[in-house]
Amino acid sequence: MQTARTVVITGCTRGLGRAMIPLFVDEGWRVAGCGRNADQIAELGRHWPAPHFFSPCDVSRDEDVAAFCAAILEKAGPPDLVLNNAAIINPNAPLWETSAEDFSRIIDINIKGPAAMMRHLLPAMLKRGSGVIVNFSSGWGRCTAADVAPYCATKYAIEGLSMATAQDTGGKVAVIPMNPGIIDTDMLRSTFGGEAGGFPDADDWARRAVPFFIKLGPKDNGKPMTVTGG
């Protein structure tokens, strides 16, 4: 019998991360997920018990990421697919109305979070010699808009971080910056308000995204990609 493949999903308590869980479970994957909301994490653990596992983890805290990744490696070995999905967006405002603390916070979560996940998981994945890491970028990692300069800065950084790390791995582990499209989630509502309702919801998106992610491999290393139709 084939051993279950493992997918790691950061930010699985809401939005896109949460919507992907049941689809991976239905495909026979083991899911390892994290988020900051401990109540929601406990609820996910009750709904999907072992071999799945869910852990409170703030990806901006290296010690949290180290503990989460150590638990993954101990329980499941090197993961097959890592979805660095967790992120925040700044409240709509021009840069000069964004405090230094808020700017640091978005950098810490959106850039340092995926970097920490890769730092703690890539050595084991490279040693095994396979796997895919998808770093969630955005349309706003490839073009800009008013009122979201801090978020744009982090998503442009995700593109560069992913493509340069892909050069480091040489494709032994594929590292891919991924624009998920535009989807009606808490994050989109923060930026678009009620207009977010005109976009597909997270469950609809996950039905297209999960089969797409499962097919990614070494040929995709370092290529900026987009979940189409979103």
Ligand X SMILES: NC(=O)c1ccc[n+]([C@@H]2O[C@H](COP(=O)([O-])OP(=O)(O)OC[C@H]3O[C@@H](n4cnc5c(N)ncnc54)[C@H](OP(=O)(O)O)[C@@H]3O)[C@@H](O)[C@H]2O)c1
Q: Enumerate the active-site residues.
A: 151
122, amino acid identity = L
For the record, the structure tokens of 40 come out as 């929601």
Q: Closer CB to ligand X, residue 46 or residue 219?
A: 46
DSSP class of 5: P
Distance CA(137)–CA(133), nearest Å, equals 12
73, amino acid identity = L
Q: Closer CB to ligand X, residue 16 or residue 174?
A: 16
- What ranges make up the beta strands (E) of 15-170? 30-35, 53-56, 81-84, 132-136
Q: Which of residues 189-228 bind ligand X (CB under 6 A)?
A: none
Count of residues interacting with ligand X (CB under 6 A): 31
207, amino acid identity = R
Is residue 153 near ligand X by the rule CB under 6 A? Answer: no
Which residue's beta carbon is nearest to the bound ligand X? 15
For residues 43 and 21, is the Cβ–Cβ distance under 8 A? no
Closest to 121 (Cα-Cα) out of 159, 157, 83, 163: 83
One of 8, 118, 161, 183 touching ligand X (CB under 6 A): 183
Helix 113-128 crosses helix 62-76 at what angle (to 10 degrees)?
A: 30
Task: Map residues 1-40 to x or -, x wherever contact with ligand X holds by CB under 6 A.
Answer: ---------xxxxxxxx----------------xxxx--x
Q: Would you list the DSSP string of 163-188?
A: HHHHHHHTTSSEEEEEE----BSHHH
How near is the Cβ of 129 to ligand X at its closest, in Å?
28
Is residue 182 near ligand X by the rule CB under 6 A? Answer: yes
Q: Closer CB to ligand X, residue 200 or residue 218?
A: 200
How near is the Cβ of 224 to ligand X at its closest, in Å?
13
How near is the Cβ of 181 to ligand X at its closest, in Å?
7
For the record, the structure tokens of 221 come out as 């290393």
Distance CA(96)–CA(110), nearest Å, equals 20
How near is the Cβ of 53 to ligand X at its closest, in Å?
15
Q: Closer CB to ligand X, residue 80 or residue 184?
A: 184
For the record, the structure tokens of 139 come out as 């349309």
123, amino acid identity = P
How near is the Cβ of 206 to ligand X at its closest, in Å?
10
Is residue 65 near ligand X by the rule CB under 6 A? Answer: no
| Residues that bind ligand X in the complex, under the rule CB under 6 A | 10-17, 34-37, 40, 57-60, 85-88, 109, 136, 138, 180, 182-183, 185-188
